[in-house]
Structure 1
Amino acid sequence: MKSVRLGKKRRLNRLFRKDRALILALDHGFPLGNVKEIEDVPSILNSVRGVVDALILNRGLILTLDSELLGFEVLYKLNGITTMAPNPYGLVTIGSVEEAVSLDAVGVSFEMYVGGPQEEQQLRELSSVLKEVQRYDIPLVLHVYPHGESRDPKLVSHAMRVGWEVGADVVKTFYYSGMRSQVEKTAVPVVVAGGPKMETEDEVVNYVKWAVREGARGVAMGRNLWGWKDVKRLASSIREVLDSREGGE
């Protein structure tokens, strides 16, 4: 009888249980240090429980938050670097796929920047990760961006294609107007990153609407979600957009 591996499929169903995913990125403490808005992570989690689908976390937070993570899916961040480094885009692998599986993570996430001096090394590290996710049958969410965080549509489109080509299960990248064409060419779900802090909550909600209309299967937001005073209200507004048929009016 042919063996059927269901681990990855089941985990992806958990991540996209509402079709479009709302992911809260809480991995900023590693690159940025003590960010005031995320000093009290348990409080943030309590305010968005039942609204946010998944959290992006570095291994230390997963290990210490423990029961605070009940009710959330967890994406285990494999790599990182500080903004103090000579090249803050040269993220280094510090976690392991095996540990992520042992912690019941819904997937692992790996961040890379194409087109810069770190690309070759990051591809080597990604090669090892790809072997491990295949071995453990766990999804890989690849955060793939142009070097220098360029928003040039041609470069973002190329980065998106790289994500598909290397075998990511989900591609996370920057939003740009008109990205639907590339999203539709990409045979795996595309999730849009939150990007720099926006000026108003309405701007955040409209951004999510645009992303949905461009075909995104969700958003992964950090400061544009936890950076506001009423995180619960904003998360609920975003959830409403994601659950609507075409991103609302």
Structure 2
Amino acid sequence: MADTDNLKEAKNYYPEIPQRSELFFLKGSNSYDWGMKNRLARIFSPTSGRAVMLAFDHGYFQGPTTGLERVDITILPLVPYADALMLTRGILRTIIPASTQKPIVMRSSGGPSILKELSNEQQAVDMEDAVRMNVSAVAVQVYVGGEYETQSILNMTRLVDAGMRVGIPTLGVTAVGREITRDARYIGLAVRICAELGATFVKTYFVPNFETVTAACPVPIVIAGGKKLPEPEALKMAHDAISQGAAGVDMGRNIFQADAPVAMIQAVRKVVHENMRPEHAFELYQELKNSPAVAQA
């Protein structure tokens, strides 16, 4: 206990200065509790308001896809350059060093493989395990227009409710089925449904007229990288998405399947956090690709 002898009387109350409560920097997130906002501030940079998430959760339904055969060899060199890691709990437990300070967005839905109807997912991770793993967010697939649309939406709402109880955000990931046209009308519908039903932030695909999607969504949107593109096209997609209101990217194949993944993720960072033009980012990519340090990574 503090010594009470010679205790000085408090006097610096600053009554002439009103107390200020700082508004949270992230769209639609100011009313969350402190723990929820703190976790979001680990994923998204408070300086730029954006995030470069590295997605390598593909194995939960695709198995050992190209570039992820050995996550310990191909992904660990990329970790220092990512703002957040999106992965499964199996890879988190077995591959990612517990000493990492990177925030974790943990895939929490699953079920069918690529051999079956993908929309038939269930909640696959209990929130108790997410707390145990000290994750910063959980991610769940939502199949708007899919055969199991309602089931996938309820998977998300259950995670949202559980996350609210413990202060863990939920990322709603919109999935586009083979029979659905990927355009602003559909994407706008899907992300709005996720947001309306409680998703803290949403991952979706970049499409023409994307500014209408971001404008109508009350929570942050990060774009999926999608299928592998030539590096200049992937950088342009990231730039166009950011310029049209995206709060970041959650890229996988366009980074870990690039000719020089370490160079690519650094170029993507410049686009996302510093608004670098895609042509300049590609020049940076080529420069880094040819540097000995990056070549050895």
What is the TM-score with the length of structure 1 in the denominator? 0.91
How far apart, CA to CA, are the structure 2 residues paired with 1:55 and 1:152?
Answer: 27
Describe the shift of the 1:124–1:131 C-alpha distance in structure 2 as closer, same or farther (beyond 3 A).
same
Aligned position for 2:85: 55
Aligned position for 2:20: none
Describe the shift of the 1:177–1:164 C-alpha distance in structure 2 as closer, same or farther (beyond 3 A).
same
How far apart, CA to CA, are the structure 2 residues paired with 1:127 and 1:48?
Answer: 32
Residue 239 (structure 1) shift: 0.4
Range that drifts further, 203-212 or 58-67: 58-67
Q: Which amino acid aligns with 1:128?
A: R
* 1:182 equivalenced with 2:213 (yes/no): yes
Decide which of 244, 251, 256 is 1:226's aligned counterpart. 256
- Structure with the larger strand share: 1
Decide which of 180, 185, 191 is 2:222's aligned counterpart. 191
Aligned position for 2:118: 88
Range that drifts further, 100-109 or 57-66: 57-66
Q: Which structure's relative contact order is higher, taking Cα pairs within 8 Å and 6+ residues apart?
A: 1
- Structure with the larger helix share: 1
Aligned position for 1:103: 133
Q: Is the 8 A contact 1:76 1:108 kept in 2?
A: yes
Describe the shift of the 1:40–1:102 C-alpha distance in structure 2 as closer, same or farther (beyond 3 A).
same
Q: Percent identity?
A: 28
* 1:243 equivalenced with 2:293 (yes/no): no
Give the secondary-structure state (helix, strand or coil) at the position aligned to 1:50. Answer: helix
Give the secondary-structure state (helix, strand or coil) at the position aligned to 2:203. Answer: strand
Unpaired stretches in structure 2, ≥5 consecutive residues: 1-31, 280-297
Q: Which amino acid aligns with 2:183?
A: D
For each residue in 1:88-117, what CA deviation from the matched residue of structure 2 results, as whole angstroms up to 9, or x when unmatched? Answer: 222222111221121111100011111122
Residue 246 (structure 1) shift: 7.2
Decide which of 147, 159, 162 is 1:132's aligned counterpart. 162
Tell me which structure has the larger Cα radius of gyration. Answer: 2
Q: Which amino acid aligns with 1:173?
A: T
How far apart, CA to CA, are the structure 1 residues paired with 2:246 and 2:257?
Answer: 22
Residue 28 (structure 1) shift: 0.9
Written as runs of structure 1 = structure 2, the 5 A alignment for 1:11-22 is 11-17=39-45, 18-22=48-52
Decide which of 45, 53, 76 is 1:23's aligned counterpart. 53
For each residue in 1:192-248, what CA deviation from the matched residue of structure 2 results, as whole angstroms up to 9, or x when unmatched? Answer: 1111121x1111111111111111000111111111231000001000001124766
Decide which of 201, 212, 218 is 1:170's aligned counterpart. 201
Describe the shift of the 1:66–1:225 C-alpha distance in structure 2 as closer, same or farther (beyond 3 A).
closer
Aligned position for 2:66: 36
Describe the shift of the 1:245–1:238 C-alpha distance in structure 2 as closer, same or farther (beyond 3 A).
closer
Residue 68 (structure 1) shift: 6.2
Q: Is the 8 A contact 2:108 2:138 kept in 1?
A: yes
Describe the shift of the 1:67–1:89 C-alpha distance in structure 2 as closer, same or farther (beyond 3 A).
same
Unpaired stretches in structure 1, ≥5 consecutive residues: none
Aligned position for 2:26: none
Give the secondary-structure state (helix, strand or coil) at the position aligned to 1:241. Answer: helix
Describe the shift of the 1:141–1:113 C-alpha distance in structure 2 as closer, same or farther (beyond 3 A).
same
Describe the shift of the 1:216–1:246 C-alpha distance in structure 2 as closer, same or farther (beyond 3 A).
farther
Q: Is the 8 A contact 1:42 1:68 kept in 2?
A: no
How far apart, CA to CA, are the structure 2 residues paired with 1:125 and 1:113?
Answer: 11
Give the secondary-structure state (helix, strand or coil) at the position aligned to 2:222. Answer: strand
Give the secondary-structure state (helix, strand or coil) at the position aligned to 2:147. Answer: coil
Aligned position for 2:234: 204
Written as runs of structure 1 = structure 2, the 5 A alignment for 1:2-13 is 5-13=33-41
Give the secondary-structure state (helix, strand or coil) at the position aligned to 2:81. Answer: coil
Q: Is the 8 A contact 1:145 1:156 kept in 2?
A: no
